[in-house]
Chain A
Amino acid sequence: MTHQTSSLNIESIYCDHHDWLQGWLRLRLGNAADAADLAHDAFLRLIIKPAPRGLNSHGEARAYLRVMAQRMCINLWHRREIEHAWLDTLSAQPLGFAPSAERQAIVLEALHEIGAMLLELPQKAARAFLMANACQMTDKEIADELGVSTRMVRKYVTQAMLRCMQLQARHTVDDLYTHDFT
């Protein structure tokens, strides 16, 4: 799979914009290490999955990078928020309780994935879906908690599952696509 070469190549984009991007990120994240990581990821992403129509000028490259960096910042903040939630969960456990680092990483990754998935759903459906899956509650239990009928719960869960399946399918396609480049 090849792409248009009339556009700027990645080396020149990197040379002209990397420092700017890193500075931009540092200003927003207030943290040089995070900024360096995200800047690195941004270029990596650009190599693996170039802009659909190519980047034809440096102005365009900068605008593209800015939008990408903004998304990555928001994603990072979401992740931090979820890390916080996990810390709260951990610290509510009895003192002796400490899952292994590996186990924690798995749970945290799952939480982040689920959190991102739920953001794509209508709020009530997301809540019902979370209770159904993470807590394995029955329709009746969820209905009681949310103050809706079990018929509504069934509808929420169906709707949420369908949406998540679609997201899952899209990711699978994305993966296939990116593997062509690596």
Chain B
Amino acid sequence: MEQAAQWYALLRSGDATESDRAAWQSWLDADPNHRRAWGYVEAVSRTFEPIHTSAAPRLAADNLWTANIRFLQRRRMITGIAMLTGSALIGWTAWRYTSLPDSLLAYTADYRTTTGEIREFTLSDGTRVWLNTATAFNEDYRTDRRVLHLMLGEILIDTASDPQRPFYVETSNGQLRALGTRFTVREEDEVTLLAVYHGRVQVRTSAGATRLIRAGQQVRFTAEGFNVPEVADVAREAWSRGMLVARNISLEEVVQELRHYRRGHLGVDPKVAGLRVFGNFPLRDTDETLALLAEALPVRIHRPMSWWVSIEPRI
């Protein structure tokens, strides 16, 4: 086996000569055991085939490498915590926290963003759509209607008028019909959040309940029914410009929002969670946002590992 591995390393090095290849061939023919060992070399090499024949082998390899390193770090960390506390639970939970429920399907969607990304698109009819972090939707335009299927995340829509073709957004909980408007739709865990900034939106839940939501209103609904409509939080719309606008909201709420834009753990100490926050913060660079928070508030950012960040009282 060792000889086979050496032959392999030589032949693939880029430095192999014709005579090397001839020598390898006679080695191979010399003994059935050599051929059997070479079979293993081929089997191992075959494993890599789907990668190096893919569109971006280098990127796939680099990402795989990062994933493995991250995995090793976490495994080490978790074993460490488990030993310290005598219980595996904290470690497992910590891990769970950082594995996001991205669905593979969503990544074959027509339009998508990854965690931390915000993008804007103009569709064929002139409708503008902003995708918030970790969002995916499909476009289904037909002659008699325009439909967007929101699969994941949040979109802000500024519809272009087309009297011949009504505009719909479909979510897991129901269907929204836009009546000349600007509005955001966000898929939360089990709930869809609709906030209307201009015009009106007619909502029909999967179970058939309907309601008209007007500009300045927002509502959460499930397939079964509606929550009470509230006043739309205009500041939230600022994400489409890459900004988090905080007007007297708690640090806890800011953190909850930032979590959507980051991978890994972001925690806040209960002692400072209630601090009030004012200001505009960049969503595209949440590390910068954390640094700004640390300047403005009596807190410090504790970062034992790149994926584990917690906000603590400044000592």
Q: Which positions in A face B, CB cutoff 8 Å?
A: 27-30, 70, 73-74, 77-78, 80-93, 95, 97-99, 101, 104, 106-107, 109-111, 113-115, 117-119, 126-127, 130-136, 138-141, 150, 153-154, 157-159, 161-162, 164-166, 168-169
Knowing A110-B50, A134-B51, A158-B5 are in contact, say whether A81-B107 is a contact too (CB < 8 A). no
- A85-B104 in contact given A93-B55, A119-B68, A165-B44 (Cβ < 8 Å): no
> Are A107 and B54 in contact (CB-based, < 8 A)?
yes
Residues of chain B whose beta carbon lies under 8 Å from any beta carbon of chain A: 1-2, 4-6, 8-10, 12-15, 37, 40-41, 43-45, 47-52, 54-61, 63-68, 70-72, 74-75, 88-89, 92-93, 95-96, 99-100, 102, 104, 107-108, 110-114
Assess whether A114 is in contact with B64, with CB atoms less than 8 Å apart: yes
26 sample A-B contacts, Cβ–Cβ < 8 Å, listed by A number? A28-B88, A28-B93, A81-B99, A82-B64, A85-B63, A86-B60, A87-B102, A88-B114, A89-B60, A91-B107, A92-B56, A97-B55, A107-B50, A115-B64, A115-B71, A117-B44, A126-B68, A127-B65, A134-B60, A135-B57, A154-B9, A158-B8, A159-B5, A162-B5, A165-B1, A169-B40
Q: Who on chain B is nearest to A166 by CB?
A: B1
5 closest Cβ pairs, A-B complex: A138-B14, A85-B67, A85-B63, A134-B61, A133-B48
Contact residues in A for B52 (Cβ distance below 8 Å)? 133-136
Shortest Cβ gap from B296 to chain A (Å): 32
Query: Which of A29, A104, A165 touches B41 (beta carbons < 8 Å)?
Result: A165
User: A70 vs B114: C-alpha distance in the bound complex, in angstroms?
Assistant: 30
Instruction: Say yes or no: A107 contacts B60, CB within 8 Å.
Output: yes
A residues near B111, Cβ cutoff 8 Å: 95
A172 to chain B, nearest CB (A): 8
**Residue pair B47, A117 in contact (C-beta under 8 Å):** yes
CA A10 to CA B102, docked complex, whole Å: 36
A128 to chain B, nearest CB (A): 10
Contact A88 B63 (CB under 8 A): yes
Q: A115-B68, A154-B9, A165-B37 are in contact. Are A91 and B112 (CB under 8 A)?
A: yes
Q: A28-B92, A133-B52 are in contact. Are A119 and B107 (CB under 8 A)?
A: no
Give the distance in Å from the alpha carbon of A141 to the alpha carbon of B12 in the complex.
12
Q: Is the CB of A107 within 8 A of B68?
A: no
Is the Cβ of B96 less than 8 Å from the Cβ of A29?
Answer: yes
Q: Min CB distance, A143 to chain B, in Å?
A: 10
Cα A127 to Cα B289 with chains together (Å): 34
Instruction: Return chain A residues, CB-CB under 8 Å to B112.
Output: 91
Q: Which residues of B contact A154 (CB under 8 A)?
A: 9-10, 13
A140 CA / B110 CA spacing, docked (Å): 40
Closest A residue by C-beta to B50? A110
Q: Are A132 and B12 in contact (CB under 8 A)?
A: yes
> Which chain A residue has the least Cβ–Cβ distance from B105?
A101
With A88-B63, A93-B56: A161-B114 Cβ-Cβ less than 8 Å: no
Instruction: Report the minimum CB–CB distance from B58 to chain A (whole Å).
Output: 5
A12–B63 Cα gap in the complex (Å)? Answer: 44
Nearest chain A residue, comparing its CB with the CB of B13 = A139
Known: A95-B111, A115-B68, A134-B52. A157 touches B92 (CB 8 A): no
State A159–B44 Cα separation when bound (angstroms).
13
What CA separation (Å) do A139 and B15 show in the bound complex?
8
Residues from chain A with a CB closer than 8 A to the CB of B56 are: 89, 92-93
> Chain B residues near A132 (CB, 8 Å)?
12
Chain B nearest CB from A28 CB (Å) reads 4
Starting from the known contacts A28-B93, A93-B56, 9 additional A-B residue pairs (CB-CB under 8 Å) come to A74-B75, A81-B68, A82-B67, A85-B63, A89-B56, A107-B60, A111-B51, A161-B4, A161-B8
* Residues on the B chain within 8 Å of A111, using CB: 51, 60, 64
Q: Give the most central of A27, A70, A135: most B CB within 10 Å.
A: A135
Question: In the complex the two chains form, what is the Cα distance from A60 to B96 in whole Å?
Answer: 28
Q: Given A78-B71, A91-B114, A162-B1: A83 and B104 within 8 A (CB)?
A: yes
